[in-house]
Chains A and B, each alone.
Chain A
Amino acid sequence: MRIAKPNTCFWQGSKACAEGAITAGCRFFAGYPITPASEIAEHMARRLPQVGGIAIQMEDEMASIGAIIGASWAGTKAMTATSGPGFSLMQEFIGYAFMTETPCVIVNAQRAGPSTGQATKCGQGDVMQSRWGTHGDYSAIVLSPNSVQEMFTLTVRAFNLAEKYRTPVILLSDETITHMREQITVPSVNNVEIVNRRKPRRGEKAFFGLEEIPPMPAVGEGFNVAVTGSTHDEYGIRFTADPLVHIKLVKRLNSKIRNNSNEISDFEEYNIEDCQIGVISYGCTSRAIYEAVEKAESKGVKTGYIRLKTIWPFPGNVVRKMVENANKIIVPELNLGQIRYEVEKASNGLAKVIPLNKIGGGELITPEELLATILKEAKTND
């Protein structure tokens, strides 16, 4: 058994994530068990040895992300998977991976926090953490799947973006999408676009600059490489006081993501140019929009939605397009309100942003609750 055969399968989200990673070329996994991400580790532990890879259970989450950063520098595509408490522990190393331009994938299957919270229950409270969790000026790429199919395709995409932009990429899933089972069409590996990091030519020395996305050698390939989280120049030499070196490095690291945000950002949209009420959602919460919007339309309310597949970079452009017509935007989230602020910023006062929030017990926002909010907001003019 090697790469999963093309077929229609009934898989758990965690399995689709693991198989997506293997299809993308991931051959190293390090993790520490935590609900609801343990099944990803379990599946990687079973499958990676079958494809010539390695899976390790580390002593904690810090060691796990440290190990995948090391594996990436050894030339291997690598992934870890965790949930809120483990994701908090990983923040320092996410910054290190960003600063050292190390491609890797970090899966966070969100549960209800803060702290241990409700370990087996769904939540979406880590949205801002996934963007701003580590310290310093940085830019994050964060993807948000809403089906078992997307646990596969967006994991592949996470690897492709990590390799292309030489940066850590976060797959921000949640308990519901990670644990649920659904049918999935597994593509033939030949039909999957796979991006690999650009390697240096012989004699090249600049692995941290000169170009927007520099080539990346692997340890043992004969290049002299110094990898450091301290500020460094194009050749990896530390400059811990020189402002110009710091400005040049940190600006490039951010601009390589910000300048390409249109290419990175991905979303599903419906009727955004002709709606009175807009809905913007992501992950498990977005599973309620289809039924709610259909019923709202059948009651004569012009409704549209944007479903984010990338949360960061946030696709402000499409929100600006939506508010040209919509006068209200509802933002359902399984937290006390996070992406709503981003929507408010993008809509720039042209639409009223209405948060619809729920936390605790893993209970999702139902289509009925969303529909009731849509109908109420359609009736009131304020």
Chain B
Amino acid sequence: MLNRIEVRISGLGGQGVVLAGQILGKAAVYAGKNVVQTQSYGAEARGSAARSEVIISDGKIGFPIVRKCDILIAMSQEAVEKNVGDLKEGGLLLIDSTTIKSAPEIGGRTFQIPATKTSEKVFKEKLYTNIIMLGALIKITKIVDGKFVEKAIRSTLSEKVATINIKAYRKGTKLV
């Protein structure tokens, strides 16, 4: 059986769930994997439900949409409630404990990451919540080597923005 991991990142429009998925996907491509990343969002620029999905595989990826995920990252109360049913039995749940007050009981492991709080404390704005969550994810799961994530951040964002995001990423790895 070929290795295959399916990740869903869910939250609200404006939280950067698509960017987090894009960076994770790119990092996995750097690591030599096959990757498909898709996204789903509402017609509004901000505030409606948004999600981004990444399938990382050693084999060919046919169907690009995640049906049941191995890992669910949730960044809003609505997101965790709507998506937790699609988490595989024994799957891994990462939630932003600043925005999610009541975490559902699941069979697998749950990690509570104070991502929004950390972003506001360290960077004076909540903009970096997504990358902090990504840092926590990589630290917990090691699905890709951290150096590829940093390379993906650098090749996706402008130099100045990338530097802050790498800081945010490293901060995330230290929260778990």
Interface residues of A (CB under 8 A from B): 8-10, 35, 118-120, 176, 179-183, 284, 287-291, 362, 364, 366-368
Contact indicator A366/B63 (Cβ below 8 Å): yes
Known: A181-B25, A287-B63. A10 touches B39 (CB 8 A): no
Interface residues of B (CB under 8 A from A): 22, 25-26, 29, 34-43, 60-65, 67
Chain A, interface SS category: mixed
A281 to chain B, nearest CB (A): 12
Q: Which one, B26, B42, B62, B67, contacts A287 given CB within 8 A? A: B62
Kindly name the residue among B26, B34, B40, B60 whose own CB sees the greatest number of chain A CB atoms within 10 A: B40
Which of chain A's residues has its CB closest to B36's CB? A182
B11 to chain A, nearest CB (A): 16
Known: A35-B43, A181-B22. A176 touches B64 (CB 8 A): yes
Contact indicator A179/B38 (Cβ below 8 Å): yes
Bound form: Cα–Cα A120–B41 in Å: 7
Contact indicator A183/B40 (Cβ below 8 Å): no
Closest 9 CB pairs of A and B: A290-B62, A181-B37, A10-B29, A10-B26, A180-B38, A291-B62, A119-B43, A183-B29, A182-B36
Contact indicator B29/A120 (Cβ below 8 Å): no
Which of chain B's residues has its CB closest to A362's CB? B40
Contact indicator A291/B37 (Cβ below 8 Å): no
Q: Which one, B34, B35, B40, B60, contacts A290 given CB within 8 A? A: B60
Q: Which residues of A contact B34 (CB under 8 A)?
A: 183
A106 to chain B, nearest CB (A): 24
CB pairs A–B below 8 angstroms (7 shown): A10-B26, A180-B36, A180-B38, A287-B62, A289-B62, A290-B63, A366-B65
Contact indicator B63/A182 (Cβ below 8 Å): no
Q: Which residues of A contact B25 (CB under 8 A)?
A: 10, 181
Kindly name the residue among B29, B61, B63 whose own CB sees the greatest number of chain A CB atoms within 10 A: B63
A319 to chain B, nearest CB (A): 22
Q: Which residues of B contact A362 (CB under 8 A)?
A: 40
Known: A10-B29, A181-B25, A183-B34. A287 touches B64 (CB 8 A): yes
Which of chain B's residues has its CB closest to A118's CB? B43
A9 to chain B, nearest CB (A): 8
Q: Which residues of A contact B43 (CB under 8 A)?
A: 35, 118-120
Bound form: Cα–Cα A245–B105 in Å: 76
Q: Which residues of B contact A181 (CB under 8 A)?
A: 22, 25-26, 35-38
